[in-house]
Each structure stands twice: as C-alpha cells, then as structure tokens.
Structure 1
Amino acid sequence: MPRKDSFLEYLLFNHRVAFLFAFLLITIFLIYHTYDLEMDTSIKKMVPLQHEYIKNLYKHKDELSLGNDIRIAVEHTKGDIFDKEFMETLREITEEGFYLPGVNKGKVKSLWTPNVRWTEADEFGFSGGEMIPPGYNGSNESLLELQRNVLKSDLIGRLVADNLRSTIVYLPLIEQDSNKQEGETNGIDYKLLSEELESNIRQQFESDSVQIHVIGFAKKVGDLIEGVKGVLGFFIITVIITFHLLIIDCRCVRCAGVILIGSLMAVAWQLGIVTLLRKLMVVFRESEYWLPFIKANPAFESIQFGLDPYSMLIPFLVFAIAVSHGVQYVGEMGVRIADGATPFDASTNTFRVLFLPGLLALISDAVGFVTLWFIDIGVIRELAITASIGVATIILTKLMFVPIAMSYVGIGDRAIEFTKKKQASPSIIWLTLSKLVKPKYAICIVLISLVGAGVGNEIRKDLKIGDLDPGAPELHPTSQYNLDNHYITKNYSISADVLVVMVETPPQSCSSYKALKLIDRFMWQMERLDEVESVDSLVSVIKHVLSGFNEGNIKWSELPKNQEIIGGALTYLPSGYQNPDCSLVPVIIYLKDHKATTLSNVVSAVESFSKTNNSDTLANFILASGNAGAEAATNQIIASAEKRILIMVYSVICLMIFISFRSIRPVICIVLPLFLTSILCEAVMTKMGMGVKIATLPVIALGVGIGVDYGIYLYSKMRYHLDQGANLQSAYLAALQVTGRSIVFTGMALSLSVGTWYFSDIKFQADIGILLTFMFLWNMIGAIVLMPALSVFFVKYEK
C-alpha cells in the first residue's frame, strides 16, 4: 500500500537537519532570556480588580490605607515592657523600621514615636503628651512614669499587649500603583522588605530576653517567595526521578534522554516566551497606547507576566504533559522497529499515527486552560496564558523535535528485544485487564463508578470557598509567620485580619449627628457578631473624648445631639478617621480570622445593614477595604466562577473530541472518567480541609486537561484496531500493550514526582502536590479501567 505523506510530515522529515538546527537556536535564545525572569508579587494580581469591593477600595485609595502594613510585636520574655534594656531595644527597632524599604515614615507608630500620645481628663479638661516622658533616662522613676502614661492611654490591646509583656511597632507601607506612569517609582519589593525584616530586625535584636513577631501581607508574600526558592529543588528532583523511571520503562538510555530533553526544552521555551512577554509589556506600559488600551481592555490591567508563587505550577505541568506525549511516541515507535522497520521509517509511521491524536489532546489542553481567563483575578489569568503557551511549546518540541530526534537515535537492541518478548507473550496484567471489557465485568465497573460518584458528590457538598485555616493558609501552621500571627492575635485585641467598611456621606456631613448615630448603630451590630474581635471608627473617638471631658465617667460615653459638642470633640480627632472634606468615614472591623465562613457571615451582616439603611442623603455603607475585604471579594469571584469554569472546560473538551472522532460515543467514553475524577478530587479536598481558592481552582481545571491526554491516546489506539477488524477485547489488549503501558508509566512516574511536593515549605504547594498526585493516578485508572468498560456499551458495534 503506497505511503501517504502529509505536507507537514514531508516537510519535517525531509529537512531534519534544518529543523534540528532551528530548534537548537531557538532553545539557546529562549534559555538566555529566562535569566531575566523576575518575581512579580503585585497586590493587583491577587485581587479581582473589576469586583465592586475592589473598585470601591481603589476609588478611595488616596484617602484610606489599603491595609498593607507590617506589625512587629517586640516581646519581653523575662517580664513586662517597662525595663531599661528592653525599651532601648524597642527604640533601636523603631529606628531600623523607619529605613525599611517601602515604609511610610510619617505614619510609623511605636511607643517611641511622637504621634503616639496619652491623654487623661483632669480638673482643667484634658492633659496629655508623648508616651515617652520628657527627660526619660531609663531610671526606675522614668519607667514608672512611662507605665502610668501607657495605662492612661487607649493603647492596651492595640499597641501594647493585654499582659504588658510586648508592644507593637506599626509600619504602614506606601502602596504604589504597579501600573506606574511616567515619573513614578516601582511598587514595594516584598522580597527585599522581607529579607531586611529578618536580617535587620529579627536576627539583629532577637535574644533570650527579646522575641520578635512579624505579620502583614508584605511579610507573608516575602515568606512565600523565600519558600519558592525550594521549588527549583523539587523540579530537579522531578527531572531526576523521571529520567531514571524512563530508563527503566524504555530500557534505552538514549530514548529516555530524547524524551527528557524534549520535555525540558518545552519548559525552557515556555519560561523564555513568558520573559519576552514581560519585557514587551514593560515597554507597552510606558508607551502612549497603554492607557487607551486598558480603558478598552481592563482585564489586562494586572497582567505583567512575572513569576509568582502560583505560576510555579506551570513548568511542572508542562514537563508532565511533555513526558506523557514523549512516552507514547517512543512506545509506539518501539513496536514498529520490533516489526522490522528502520528508525527513520518507524519514526515517520509513528508520526503519521500519533500526530493528530496528540495534537487533539494538546489543543484540548490549551483551550481548556484558556477558559481560566474568565476568572477575574490577575494571577489566574496569567496562569491561563502561560499554561496555554506551555502547551503550544509542547506541540513543537514533542510532536516535532522528538520525532526528528528519534529518527536519528532509534531504539536500543535491549528495548527492541523486550518489546518483541511482550508482543509474543503479553503480560498477565494486560491479559487480566483485557477481560474487563466483557459485559459482566464492565457492568460491575460502571456500577462501582456510579457509587463512587454518588458518595463523592455527597462529600463534596461540604466543599467551602476560600481559606479554612487561620493565619496564612499558604504556609504551614508551624511556619514562623503563622506562629507570629498566633502570638499577636492571642495577646492583642486587634488582629491581622481587617475589614474596612467605607461610609460615604455628602461633603461636610460625615460628622452630623444623624450620620454618626447610624454609624454607631452599625458598629453595635458588628460587635455582636461572634466572628468580630473589635470595631473602631470616628464614633469611638468622639465617645472617648466626651467621656474624658466628664472626668472619665462612662455614662458620658455617648453621642450628643448637640452638633457644637460633637465639633468640639472632633478637635482631638487623630488622622485617618475621616477624609479631608468629611465625606468618608472608615469603620475598621477586626476579625478573629479570615476563614471563608467568617468572611461570609460578616459580609452578609454588612450587606444586610446597608440594604436597609443606605441613603444618598445621609450615609451609604459600602464594602470594602482591608485585607479581609480583598479576600471576601476574591472568594465571591471564585464561588461564581468555579462551576462555570468546569462547565466551560468540559464543553470545550467534548467539542474537540466530537470534532475529531465525529461521534458522541467517544465523547462519553473519554469524558465520563474525567468527570468522575473531578468529583472525587473535590471530595478529597473536602476531607482534607482544603477550600476552593486561587491556589486550588486552577489545579481542578488543569487536572482535567492532563487526564484527557490518556483517554484520547488509548481510545485512538483501540479505534485503530477495531477498524482493522479486531473484536473489542483484542483491540483493548493491543492498546494496553503499547498505549496502556505508557499511560500507566506516566501516571505512576508523575505521581511519584509531584508527591515529593508534600515536603515543601509552602503549604499550598504541598496541597497542590497531593491533588495532582491523586488526579494523575485517578485519571490513569479512569483511562485504563473505566473508559474501556464504557466502550462495551458505546463502541462494541463499531468496526
């Protein structure tokens, strides 16, 4: 029968040297540019910029803090803070804090800063002064006076611990727009800030008598970046494990080398292309076309193509998918060489058979990844683009480079002998599995799968959106950051989880009695919530001042109806409690944690109050600023997108399979095992206490894309043998011997590799490792066991 060459096959195999040379030059060029890859931890990437809460936050960003600050709790382990040596250490820490990168020096607060004062009511009204008494020299008398000043102030629980054994140095950060315009400076370098907090603060001042505890968004991101350094080590471990397993599976070092080189080439290309896109984006942002483009396409505002803790997942996935396709190619080519073909003919014939199924699988992967773009969070949108770029590089490196390289390299004699032996005498494992396509066994498998889907569906009903652990769930509970967070929340009445409700009023009306009374009623309702630690606002200050005017009598801690009395109390108002034209009042709600249920309950209470009481002529209560406000918005976006994204991913995959095979039957056979894996994956997440969030939602979607490769390859091979006249069991056995063996190897090898992530310093990477291990294994089982069982009912009459 004459050979039918496609144009691509003719072009590729008749110009092999030219293509190899081109691959080499492109690889060198892109590897060179990967050295310019930069970390990008812009806060805009982490939040849904088009969400109402975030729009409100940036609307008032010049009038309110974005909640991005650092709190350094300095603990005296051998007594209270009123100690000469301790106070001197606190002074030095405060001075070091002034010079940390990104710190807003004018708003730093400490017992040593002049903006921290005490007040008391006396027979003349109010008296007060700086917290550190004039002439302080560390003597017992001056320390006693300092103690009296602290006790007179309202700092207990806020700047000084309830037990008086520690005090906070508060460092607000200057949050600059990462989308800088001409003349503006760059945003905060979280990596540098975190490193200097460790070297200049913790390491320099921590001792037997002084312990340092540091919390804040910037520190958490810095710790994540530090943990990300270990990702390179895990990638190297993955490569080493995969290479050794490839040698065991292929029984040919040069075959394993080609697969590994092609896979690493795909990773290098993906990282290099992303780096080039970042450079182009920097130039574009500085051009005159950027602002008009962003106005027309706001989704690109947070896209910067930098490496972040979440995008670290992509090189692993690119490597995994590339290895999977490479193993399929080498396995098929080995069979043809065992049948007597030359390496060149075997490679061209294998290319002809596997190129279209491989291309279909990769296009399905890419289009499935693109659906993540519809989640309005910058870091996920970047992930969608970079993952799709990674798949595109695999099309070139695995479907083109590997066939050319293998046509030269061939397969070793030991591997050929092993293949001949397996063809002559199929493994008892494959013979046993081939019986699963008998109707009686197929029915049992389908019923077991239905039961598993039912049980998994019941469990997954308890799956939560957002974080389920206190502190920083991205880090382990025993991490330094989470230990510091636990200490501060235990010893202070404030917490690191802050929700700011913005109260908008007509200009010069925020201090009117009616508006203040409404704010007071709102605060009262918020304080009654179990999830709330405390609430602070302009009203709190007015009550405190009026009580002081009346000898500290708590009965006077009430809002007066007389506007002049309110005006008199406002003369003592610290900065930050209203904006300059008195049209905005922040109500600061300190939460016990930022768990999904906490945020949901508090936000619901705020929205319920605002729905009933909002008035354009009096006051509008709008959400939200603070880190908890940003997380609440993120959770809402994730909740609305979760089901929609999975529906889109499955719809695209179904469409691609239908277009390729032109039948609904293969769609059912290939997709149902993937759907079962998705259900069971969410059940596993529920049992392990994982929520659906930025780190886990992409894994659920990406896992489907990886799994579809298995099904497409195995079904294509079965279909080929069925078209040759084989019965279903014979076709399944033949497919298992080549394609099935490659699927099992890939599933096991990649599960073992990502399973090492369990030991990562970053908890969310360990969680992702667990999920990917489960999905690799279960997709493998679904393709090998469930898909053939479904074929009994949908494919057995196709010849």
Structure 2
Amino acid sequence: MNVDGLINRLEITVFRHRAFVLTIFALLSALLVFQASQIKLDAAFTKNIPLNHEYMQTYLKHQENFGGANSVLISVCHQEGDIFNKEFFTALKGVHDQLFFIPGVNRTQVKSLFSPSTRFVEVVEDGFAGGPVVPADFVADDKGLATVKANIEKAGIVGRIVSDDYSCAMVKAILMERNPNTGEKLDSIALANILENDIRKPYEKGNITVHIIGFTKMVGDVADGAKGVVTFFAVAIAITSIMVFLFSRSVLLTLLPIACSLVAVVWQMGLLSSLGFGLDPMSILVPFLVFAIGVSHGVQMINAIGKHVEQGFTTKEAAQFSFRSLIIPGGAALLSDTVGFITLLSIDIGIIRELAITASLGVAVIIFTNLLLLPVLISFLKLDKSARSQSKEANTPLWQLMASVSNRVVASVILVFTAILFVAGFHYSKQLKIGELHAGAPALHESSRYNQDTFLITNRYAISVDYMSVIVETTANACTDAQVLKTMDAFQWQMENVAGVQSAVSLPSVMKIINAGYYEGNLKWRIISPNQYALAQALSNVPSSTGLLNNECSVMPVILFLEDHKAETIDRVIVKAKQAISELNNDDLTFNLASGPIGVMAATNEAVAEAQLPMMLYVYGAVILLCFISFRSVRATIAVVVPLYVVSTLAQWLMTVLDIGLTVSTLPVIALGVGIGVDYGIYILSTMSIKLREGMSAHQAYLAALHERGSAVLLTGFTLAIGVSTWFFSDLKFQVDMGVLLTFMFLVNMLAAVTVLPALACFLWRDKK
C-alpha cells in the first residue's frame, strides 16, 4: 500500500469511528493526568555535569577524600565592627551545629572556627605548640575572645575561614551524593529550603547577616525563580488565545486548538512521570514550548478547515480534507522537531539529555493531539463560512506584495542581501565563546540575593569560590619523597604565574612554611628539604583532615584559586595546566585534571564544545532526510534548509553581540530553534510543490501558498515570538537568554520562510513554457 492509500485508510477509519477515537483519547488523558500529578522537580548535581568526561572521572574517584564540587559556603557576618563579640560567636556556633546535623552533609568535611581540625601552630622555645583555634572550654568573654583572636592570627586562616577585615567567618561543608537517612539521591531543592529556613532565617537577626552560596543553594534559588514559569504560561495562553480568536473569529475555533495543545502538555508530563523522569529548572520551560508548537499546528488545521468551509464543504468534510492534506506536511514538520530534539541525546550531560527526552516526547504527542484529535473535535461543529470569506479578500493586497519576492529581480536582491548577512554572521559566529561570560551564578541575575552573597564572599575573603583541584597520584608514602614534592611545587609555581590564578595551595607549599618555622621563620629555610626526616617532621603538622593529602600519602591535590569563572579564564588556565602536566608527568607521579567547581565547569565547557558540531550535523541531517522523504525533491529540501541554516548562523552572531556564551542552557536553543523553525518552510512548500507540479510558475505557486497558508504562518510566527518574549521579565538569567534567542529564531525563521524560501524557489524551479 502506498502512502496515499495508507492516509486514505487512516482517514476513513478515524472519521467513521469518531466516538471511539474520542473515548480512547479521554481514557488516555485521564490516565496521564494522574501520572502527571505525580511528577516531581529533580535537580541532582550529577545531572549538570558530563560524568564520562576524564575530569569528572578524576572528580568522582577522589571526592570521598578531597570533597567534591557540590559544596556549601556560609559566611556569617557582623554588620557593626568585627566578629569578636558574644552575639557573633553564638550565631556562628549555631550555624555550624545546624549545618553539621543536616542529612546529606558530609560531617567530616564541615569546616569552621568551631571545627576541631581548625588548628593553629606556633613556634615556641621547645619547638612547636598548637591546638584548636576555639578551645574546648571557650567562653565568649573578653579573655576568651582575645585568645581566639590570637589563635586565628597564628593559624594563618585570615582570608580563608575569617574574612580579611574580621567582619565575617566562614562555615564550609561538602555534600554527599545521597541522603544517608533514605538512601535516595540528595534532593538539592529540599536541601536549599532547609538552608534557608533552618540556617538563614533563625540566625539572620540583629547585627548578624548570613550569606549562603554553593550549587545546592543556587539550584534552590533557580527553582524558586522557575515558579514564575507558571505565570508566563498563563500570559502566553492569554496572548495566544487573543491572537487565535482574531484569526478565526470564533470562540470554539479558539478554544479547541488551545485545549488540544494543553492536552499535549498533560500527555508529555504524564509520559515523563511514567518513564521515571522529573522536571529540572531548565526542562520546566519545555512544556511552554510544546504548548506553543501545538498551537502553531492547531492554527494550520483550523485555517485549512476554514478554507474548505468557505468552498462550501460541510464541517465534517472540511475536517477530513484538512486531515488528509496536513498529515504529511504537519507530520513531517513534527517528526523533524522530534528527531532534532532527540539529537541532543548526543551531549553527555544529564540535564540536556533529559531536556531532549522531555521536548521530543512533547512534540511527538502533538501529532496525535493537534493533527488527529483536533480535526475530529472540529468535525462535530457547524461553522459559518461568511466571516472567513471577508478575511480572504482583505488579505489579497498583502499577499500580492509578499509574492513579489518570488519575482526574479526582487529575489536576486533578497538572495544577495541574505548572502551578505550570512557571510557577516558566519565571520562573527566564529567569535562565539563557550562557557560563562559573567561573574556570579550565570543562571541568576546579578542583583539576585545569591549573586550578591557571592560578591560579598569574594570581596571579603582572600580566596576565590572559583577553585580547581589538580589531583596528583603517586606511590604510597610519597609525602616524604623530596623529588615528588619538588615536582608538585614546580607545577604550583608555574600555575601561580598564569593570568587569572589568584593563589594556590598544596602540601609542598604548606610543608615549606612549616620547615621554616623550625628555623625561627627564616625565609631561607622555606624549602623542600632533601632530608627525609626533616620532611617527616614537617608532615607531622599536616593531618589528612586538611584536605591536602589522603591517609596513605599517595594522592595530593594542588588547589588553584581563580579570579573568576569566565570562559576565557578557564580556557587559559586549563591550557597552561596541560602544558605543565605534559612537562612534569613522570613514572613517579601523575597530574590529573580536575576537581572542584572550576574542574566541573571546564569539563562542561569541553563537553559543550565537542557536542556543538555533531549536534548541528545531526539536527540538519534529520531535517534534510525528513524533508527529502516528504517532498521527494532535492530542490524542495534546499529551499527549506538554506534559510534555516542562515538563521542559525545569525543567531550565533547575535549571541556574540549580546555577550551570551554557549552553555548548557543556550546550546539546546539552537536545536530547538531549527526544529521549530522548519515548520514554516514545510507548510509553505507543501502547497507550493503541488502547484509547481501542476505547471504554475514559482510566483503563482507562492501566491497560492500565501492564500492558503500565509495567514496561519504569519500568525504562528508572531504568536510564538510574543509568547517567549515574555521570558525577558524572568527572574532567571538563563531563561532571559533563552527567551531572547528563541524570540529571534521564531521570528526570523518565519521571515526567512516567507522571503528567502520563495526567492530561492524562483531560481530552483524554472517557469514552464
């Protein structure tokens, strides 16, 4: 059976058994509504990193000994004067104890002034003496506070645990991957709420302020901002409803495509829940896109049905004819969208893969809800053709003007202008940077509480929150091997002299200071001693709890503190680190990149860079294949794909102009824009190709396509663009960036489909004599 025969059989089956079809849809919808109600937000830390990347393999291998990148930093500050008062130390002790007992916090990695591992060492007449910075019998009176102040200065923790101006003190902790009480993955959003409700609110009072940063807290703030998506969804539904009503001039024809699109969203959520997936702050935006795509195809359906009603057909007949005429172009467009989104699975980052699954499921169900359910529902209505016939006449001058782009002279100008834009866009798109380009958490605005807390901590402490650990693997007991320590020290020295590296610390650098202490602090003795006993003596003052060595002395990190996490800074440091590693690696030790927040960012940036080209090849390969299958024409495929590629290139140019980097959140936008943008060209060309085969010129065929599909294409383009433009007002910076790029791609893809595509067509299809 050929394709036409199969479509004919499907049409007859569906419209002869309309009640049965509606019953099936009702039952499935009831089941999926229940499943959708069970869906949960899921923002696990490991979803945001490329777990198979070599850096992340190093990170996972050693996170138990040296902690991971999923840390929490809490700075407790006193607004008036310094920290040496009873009010401050009472609050700091409370924060430390409260954080210590939160499930999911690695208690061995909690660090503050009250940690037993926070110790001071001083040179005395008999050698070294030391103890905890805050003694076990500490009382916050004048004597006790003076003792603690002296111990802080002896411990050398100013700038790390205590701020440079003595106005704040830090409580640090590393989080586990799983909740030890339940055995389940750590719920980052729930933990962020605990940090807010059990730590910030109880202790931030009077002169005390509490500032919390870390991946978990950032995710919690992003999740709070993502709640605004519901508002944007409501606004989009309202805007879309108004525009569809102005187009259809019918309340029922407005409500039905809106309702079918909402059914698609419910089905998407239900299927996700059934497959065991949740929604993270990024994929929570996808239901909005699914709704918008559903409406765009719904508008094409009601437009086609309205045209047939104008011609005198009954509503049922019009619905059948529209179903038959749109199932191929609509199905091809939606399959292109689906396959395009599936290509995102090639990116080895959990959050993008789940976005791919979420988006592809949502778009796939639109085939059933908006190309099948919608015409069946409309077939029960009785439509009046008088209102629609007026709009046809009113649009004729506009279609005549738009059709002029398919005249050879005008088309030549358009194609030359497009080529100039493409060359400029291609040139500037090469300047697109991979990674974050701004300080603070890029998902949030600079004015957000989280980023303000970040800026306060980085300004008041000598160390940066942007750090990277280079892990040195060697033999057991290598801590007393002078050659190993000297090699590590040489690596640290090279990295400290790289632009963007604020400071560095490692076991050798600490042992050098301790060694000098044995000689009254004489700087001449700040060396790696060749004497093994002297090394052992220095090492005895560095317990493994410092995070500078493991228990076997076989693994030691070199911790690099960076000035920021901007893409160029990370790239520069990684390149220099690889150069130094290639020179210094030997049979006795191996330097391995990389752990810490910057290690995660570097791995993510490299994963995004590696995925960029394959993703685009997969997306365009899928679009080209499906267009060729649909139209069975190389010329038609070229006419659809060329405008898409030009717009994608211009979108990358726009990213460089707006200083938007290619990140986990912006990389999928290109695929989303291409997948959705192909719809315009497919719908226009589906009519044009029929008319061209009938012997019409490209100009006549395009004019006929505008009469049949022009209103729907223009409406969907503007409706989609207006809908995502509401994201400009989001509390989430990454949603604003996505909104800017999607608005551009929706609008410009539509404009390219109604100008560049017909301009190409008039050269690809020569007029028949």
Mapped partners of 2:386, 2:479: distance in 1 = 86
- How far the C-alpha of 1:208 sits from its partner, in A, is 4.8
Does the CA contact (< 8 Å) of 1:470 and 1:595 recur in 2? yes
Does the CA contact (< 8 Å) of 1:532 and 1:590 recur in 2? yes
Give the 5 Å matches for 1:620-699. 620-699=590-669
Mapped partners of 1:514, 1:789: distance in 2 = 71
1:77 corresponds to which letter in structure 2? Q
1:197 lines up with 2:198 in the alignment: no
1:357 lines up with 2:329 in the alignment: yes
Give CA-to-partner distance per residue, 1:62-114, whole Å, 9 cap, x none.
Answer: 33311221111111111011122222222222222223332222332222232
Match 2:724 to one of 754, 762, 772: 754
The answer for the alignment partner of 1:554 in structure 2 is 523
State the Cα RMSD in Å.
Answer: 1.8
The answer for the alignment partner of 2:223 in structure 1 is 225
1:481 corresponds to which letter in structure 2? Y
Match 2:689 to one of 703, 719, 723: 719
The answer for the alignment partner of 1:206 in structure 2 is 204
2:45 corresponds to which letter in structure 1? I
Match 2:559 to one of 578, 582, 588: 588
1:665 corresponds to which letter in structure 2? R
Does the CA contact (< 8 Å) of 2:45 and 2:215 recur in 1? no
1:146 corresponds to which letter in structure 2? V
1:701 lines up with 2:699 in the alignment: no
- How far the C-alpha of 1:560 sits from its partner, in A, is 0.2
Mapped partners of 1:464, 1:425: distance in 2 = 47
Does the CA contact (< 8 Å) of 2:69 and 2:600 recur in 1? no
1:44 corresponds to which letter in structure 2? T
Give the 5 Å matches for 1:476-491. 476-491=445-460
Give CA-to-partner distance per residue, 1:183-242, whole Å, 9 cap, x none.
Answer: 971132211221122122222222352222111111111111221121122112211211
Deviates more, 1:780-789 or 1:575-584: 575-584
Does the CA contact (< 8 Å) of 2:426 and 2:650 recur in 1? yes
2:427 corresponds to which letter in structure 1? E
Match 2:130 to one of 128, 148, 155: 128
Does the CA contact (< 8 Å) of 1:722 and 1:798 recur in 2? no
The answer for the alignment partner of 2:105 in structure 1 is 103
Give the 5 Å matches for 1:1-16. 6-16=8-18
The answer for the alignment partner of 1:402 in structure 2 is 374
Match 1:579 to one of 534, 550, 557: 550
How many residue pairs are counted as aligned between the two chains? 763
Give CA-to-partner distance per residue, 1:456-508, whole Å, 9 cap, x none.
Answer: 12221210001111111111111111111111111112122121101011233
The answer for the alignment partner of 1:512 in structure 2 is 481
Mapped partners of 1:134, 1:204: distance in 2 = 25
The answer for the alignment partner of 1:237 in structure 2 is 235
1:6 alignment partner, SS class: helix
1:104 alignment partner, SS class: strand
Mapped partners of 2:437, 2:594: distance in 1 = 21
Match 2:743 to one of 740, 760, 773: 773
Give the 5 Å matches for 1:63-212. 63-133=65-135, 135-176=137-178, 185-212=183-210
The answer for the alignment partner of 1:613 in structure 2 is 584
Task: Tell me the percent identity.
Answer: 41
Mapped partners of 1:140, 1:637: distance in 2 = 55
Give CA-to-partner distance per residue, 1:295-333, whole Å, 9 cap, x none.
Answer: xxxxxxxxxx22111212321221122111110111011
Does the CA contact (< 8 Å) of 1:494 and 1:590 recur in 2? yes
2:108 alignment partner, SS class: helix
The answer for the alignment partner of 2:259 in structure 1 is 261
Uncovered stretches (5+) of structure 1, i.e. residues with no partner: 279-304
2:423 corresponds to which letter in structure 1? G
The answer for the alignment partner of 1:58 in structure 2 is 60
The answer for the alignment partner of 1:732 in structure 2 is 702
The answer for the alignment partner of 1:45 in structure 2 is 47
Does the CA contact (< 8 Å) of 1:215 and 1:496 recur in 2? no
1:736 corresponds to which letter in structure 2? L
Does the CA contact (< 8 Å) of 1:314 and 1:386 recur in 2? yes
Give the 5 Å matches for 1:427-506. 427-506=396-475
1:343 corresponds to which letter in structure 2? T
1:311 lines up with 2:283 in the alignment: yes
Deviates more, 1:555-564 or 1:59-68: 59-68
1:641 corresponds to which letter in structure 2? A
2:76 alignment partner, SS class: strand
Mapped partners of 2:693, 2:487: distance in 1 = 76
Mapped partners of 1:176, 1:203: distance in 2 = 25
Give CA-to-partner distance per residue, 1:4-50, whole Å, 9 cap, x none.
Answer: 77111111101100000110111111011111111112222111122
Deviates more, 1:333-342 or 1:548-557: 548-557
The answer for the alignment partner of 1:743 in structure 2 is 713
Does the CA contact (< 8 Å) of 2:248 and 2:388 recur in 1? no
Does the CA contact (< 8 Å) of 1:42 and 1:187 recur in 2? yes
1:63 alignment partner, SS class: helix
The answer for the alignment partner of 2:306 in structure 1 is 334
Give CA-to-partner distance per residue, 1:383-408, whole Å, 9 cap, x none.
Answer: 22222211220111111101101111
2:309 alignment partner, SS class: helix
Uncovered stretches (5+) of structure 2, i.e. residues with no partner: none
Mapped partners of 2:93, 2:26: distance in 1 = 59
1:393 corresponds to which letter in structure 2? V
Does the CA contact (< 8 Å) of 2:491 and 2:584 recur in 1? no
Does the CA contact (< 8 Å) of 1:67 and 1:498 recur in 2? no
Mapped partners of 2:123, 2:486: distance in 1 = 25
Alpha-carbon spacing, 1:251–1:29, altered in 2? closer, same or farther (3 Å): same
